[in-house]
Amino acid sequence: MKLSSIIPAPELHYFTLLLVTGLYTPGRGEITSLDAGNIDDILNSAGVALVNFYADWCRFSQMLHPIFEEASNIVREEYPDATQVVFARVDCDQHSDIAQRYRISKYPTLKLFRNGMMMKREYRGQRSVTAIADFIRQQKVDPIKGIENLEEISTVDRSRRTIIGYFEKKDSDNYRTYEKVANILRDDCVFLAAFGEVSKPERFSGDNIIYKPMGENAPDMVYMGSLTNFDLSYAWTQDKCVPLVREITFENGEELTEEGIPFLILFHQKDDTESLEKFQQEVARQLISEKGSINFLHADCDKFRHPLLHIQKTPADCPVIAIDSFRHMYVFPEFSDLAVPGKLRQFVLDLHSGKLHREFHHGPDPTDSTPGQQEENEVASNPPESSFQKLAPSETRYTILRDRDEL
């Protein structure tokens, strides 16, 4: 593979120049090397930390070294305070315990930390000096928008989840906790804050935080816990900001696939909110106990035409429900069956029990061979190969650790 297919031209030129002149060594930049003795102290004291988990023998790691170091040099000039931004690295061969702790399954992996807490979304952007430096700049932008008057609340975009904090003053423990939570969940919710006289009408019982759900008529929800307790504040806000049924896009497909658990996915037209609401309601009603063993997702039919073709469907057939196990895809018989009590749950349980896969190889189970179920079993016994597995991290970009993939 050509280096130019991995590294943009300016960075490739820079990388080649360092190799030719002999100036490149892994320790060239001021990158903090992490080990079991210092990792917690360094990450906990850093507002933002970008950590490169690598292996010296990995060619992609070797390509990234000079780029990561140069990006670090640029960012350090803009944020000279050593506690604001930290660029660090972990040699995963030397510190396999740390690699296991953070579930590293490919090299190089760039993970973002805030005040010691690992963010769910790692860096998956372009491996260039400019892109990495821009990513850090974006992370330093304040995620909380100030409210100048309460009339602004009436114009809040109800197509997005919104958290609003009302505080007597900005310099307070209440606001600092809110700010920490907002920084962690900045990609999942809109965060607003009002202070002093502006917020006074909403502070009749002291500082408070509310959640405005999506939808014009959805009622506000008030946080009732301690405003200075980070764990409680974060748990409540995460529950509100991260939906049970998430949307899959081409931008987050790699991230979702790498979580390593099957997809239960609703394909629907973008403006078909009714089908989505029904799906969300049934997932919450029937499958809340399966959270963690399967990802509940929805996808735009038009954008994901290819997976639909794999299951012999088109956008005209939407809404369609299917499971992608990362080995095969299985189609839920009919969307209307969503209204049958327990039907969706049984579909998922049949995946976990191996029934869907077993029937694929050996035909319908004897107990399911009744005439009324014959057509349904024929659908389940001939599933196509996984389509979404193709969105997983690419071997042209990472060294994939096969042993982890097989666990």
Cis peptide before 319 (omega within 30 of 0): yes
Confidence grade of residue 10 (pLDDT, cut at 50, 70, 90): very low
- The span from the CA of 75 to the CA of 73, in Å, is 6
Please determine, for residue 382, whether its predicted confidence score (pLDDT) is greater than 50.
Answer: yes
* pLDDT of res. 378: 45
Query: What pLDDT is attached to residue 359?
Result: 73
Adjacency order of strands within the sheet including 109-114: 32-33, 85-91, 48-54, 109-114, 117-118
Which domains, ranges and CATH numbers included, belong to the chain? 3-140 (3.40.30.10), 144-241 (3.40.30.10), 245-391 (3.40.30.10)
pLDDT at residue 363 in the model: 62
pLDDT value of residue 384: 83
Please state the rounded mean pLDDT for residues 125-138.
Answer: 97
Token pair belonging to 328: 């095969």
**Mean pLDDT, range 178-193, rounded to an integer:** 96
Taking only the tens place, the pLDDT of each residue in 352-380 is 998 887 776 666 666 655 555 544 444 44
- Contact (CB, 8 A) for 154 and 62: no
**Tokens encoding 20:** 């030719």
Q: Which of 5-19, 275-289, 293-307 has the least mean pLDDT? A: 5-19
Does pLDDT of 287 surpass 80? yes
Cα 72 from Cα 87, distance rounded (Å):
6
Q: pLDDT tens-digit profile of 76-125?
A: 999 998 889 999 999 999 999 999 999 999 999 999 999 899 998 899 99
Q: Is 320 left (phi over 0), alpha (psi -120 to 50) or beta?
A: beta
Q: Coil, strand, or helix at residue 50? A: strand
- The answer to whether residues 92 and 107 touch, using CB atoms and an 8 Å cutoff, is yes
Render 151-206 in DSSP notation, one character per residue.
GGGGG--TTS-EEEEEES-SSSHHHHHHHHHHHHTTTTSEEEEEEHHHHGGG-BTB
| 17 pLDDT above the threshold of 70 | no
pLDDT value, residue 360: 66
- In this model, does residue 281 exceed pLDDT 70? yes
Q: Does the pLDDT at position 407 exceed 50? A: no
- DSSP label at 31? P
Q: Report the alpha-carbon distance of residue 399 to residue 401 in Å, rounded.
A: 6
Q: What is the pLDDT of residue 370?
A: 52
Alpha-carbon distance of 237 to 185, in angstroms, equals: 8
| pLDDT at residue 166 tops 90 | yes
| Cβ atoms < 10 Å from Cβ of 207 | 20
What is the arithmetic mean of pLDDT over 333-344?
A: 94
Is residue 255 within 8 A of residue 295, CB to CB? The reply is no
DSSP symbols for 284-330: HHH-GGGBTTBEEEEEETTTTHHHHHHTT--GGG-SEEEEE-SSBEE
Three-state secondary structure call for residue 150: helix
Cα–Cα distance measured from residue 384 to residue 212, given in angstroms and rounded to the nearest whole number: 41
Q: Is the pLDDT higher at 384 or at 243?
A: 243
Cβ neighbors of 263 (< 8 A, separation 6 or more) are 248, 256, 294, 295, 297, 323, 324, 388
When pLDDT is cut at 50, 70 and 90, the band that residue 28 belongs to is: very low
Bigger pLDDT: 281 vs 389: 281
C-alpha–C-alpha distance, residues 53 and 61, integer Å: 9
- Average pLDDT value for residue range 172-199: 96
What's the mean pLDDT in 280-299?
94
pLDDT for residue 52 is more than 90 = yes
Q: Residue 54: name the closest of 93, 108, 111 by CA.
A: 108
Give residue 367's pLDDT. 60
Confidence (pTM): 0.80
% of residues, the chain, pLDDT over 90: 75
